[in-house]
Amino acid sequence: MTNIEVPAVKPANPNFSSGPCAKRPAWTPAVLNDAPLGRSHRAKIGKAKLAEAIELTREVLEVPADYRIGIVPASDTGAVEMAMWSMLGARPVDMLAWESFGSGWVTDVIKQLKLTDARVLDAPYGEIPDLTQVNPAHDVVFTWNGTTSGVRVPNADWIAADREGLVICDATSAAFAQELDYSKLDVITYSWQKVLGGEGAHGILILSPRAVERLETYTPAWPLPKIFRMTKGGKLIEGIFEGATINTPSMLCVEDYIDALKWGKDLGGLKALVNRADANANAIAMWVERTDWVDFLAVDPATRSNTSVCLKIVDADVVALPEDKQAAFAKAIVSTLDAQGVAYDIGAYRDAPSGLRIWAGATVETSDVEALLPWLDWAFASEKAKLVAAG
């Protein structure tokens, strides 16, 4: 194989991690100077900051006025668990899974909540289940964008407008980068550490009026930890959705989230953020099209993510290797680029097939993606040369 020269230009920001993700362009610690540190989140200033974060979320994400928005603990995982433990069990549930996080929700419902009327519709990495099999009389739990597989739902057309069940959507790597059809979703969760590049540990829980009705009319058969309780005396605890959080939030992280929301708003809002992610994903797609050693893990182009772009190595000599050697080859590429200060944290998720995973969300500059691509070719060529030399 002809060696590829070392590229001359490196990405200005080598952070391509899929969470926590790159900070917004031009971010500095100075943007946190207004954080009310050392103050109670229940003080007037703390409540005002939390309320501002909620209202900016509504504005930038274009959340309907009658949907509640709450800041909850434990990142997106906490938000999803709150929804499942509080609302499931009222009717049968269809669990959709095509990557590790969706599979995790299946495990919780089957083994922890022990719901015997749960139906699992799954697919291997790179594919998606037959969405037409979803029963509108059932509740549904699914990830809009599979962060560890790079596979997303193409749209919400498969969700019935006149459904009887609730739709619980883990949207953590989709929110702010993909259009969500709120009319088809009753619970939406995400973490601001993804598309907006915020810090970890906080989640967002968005509830439709139908979800609120379920909370106020249904009591699960199992006990709920305090951290999951959203009702008192059969009524929604409205304070959770007005800035009175269940537990103590980090006001430093809240300030950072507010800064990211203001950045997104100033760009032009949701459409502008979606366009930035699309531009990044398109740059990778054009490179994949002209590159023979790599391909998308997602089989169907209509389901390819524009945020967590997952790639597999398809070079014949590498594919011929045992699986552990294929994984080692991909990890060598990742390590080489890390050592060069070109790209950090771009290895496939630990449960996913070996390969690469490049975050392309809205906080990533397209110029950095474009600068990364020649380095991927260079790292592959370098490792392939070693493979050929070793016989």
- Range 329-353 average pLDDT: 97
Specify burial of residue 117 (Cβ count, 10 A radius: 0-12, 13-18, 19+).
exposed
CB 185 within 8 A of CB 165: no
pLDDT category, 4, cuts 50, 70, 90?
A: confident
DSSP letter assigned to residue 51? H
Q: Give the chain's domains with CATH numbers.
A: 31-266 (3.40.640.10), 269-389 (3.90.1150.10)
- Amino acid identity of residue 113, one-letter, is L
User: Does 2 score more than 70 pLDDT?
Assistant: no
Give CA separation, 159 vs 186, 208, 341, in Å: 11, 15, 44
pLDDT digit string, tens, across residues 181-210: 999 999 999 999 999 999 999 999 999 999
pLDDT digit string, tens, across residues 14-60: 999 999 999 999 999 999 999 999 999 999 999 999 999 999 999 99
Torsion, Cα 276 277 279 280, to 10 degrees, reads: 120
pLDDT digit string, tens, across residues 272-327: 999 999 999 999 999 999 999 999 999 999 999 999 999 999 999 999 999 999 99
CB 19 within 8 A of CB 191: yes
- Amino acid identity of residue 243, one-letter, is G
pTM surpassing 0.95?
yes
Report d(CA 154, CA 144) in Å as an integer. Answer: 9
CB 194 within 8 A of CB 19: yes
Helix axes 209-217, 75-87, angle to 10 degrees: 50
Beta strands in 192-266 (DSSP E): 202-207, 231-232, 235-236
- What are the phi and psi torsion angles at 150 (to 5°)? 70, 25
Question: What average pLDDT is seen over the chain?
Answer: 97
Task: Please work out, in degrees rounded to the nearest 5, the angle formed at the alpha carbon of residue 45 by the alpha carbons of 43 and 46.
Answer: 65
List the structure tokens of 226: 């305090």
CB 183 within 8 A of CB 161: yes
Give CA separation, 62 vs 38, 158, 211, 230, 307, in Å: 32, 22, 18, 23, 19
Beta strands in the chain (DSSP E): 68-73, 93-97, 118-122, 139-143, 145-146, 151-152, 167-170, 187-191, 202-207, 231-232, 235-236, 294-296, 308-313, 356-359
- Range 94-115 average pLDDT: 98
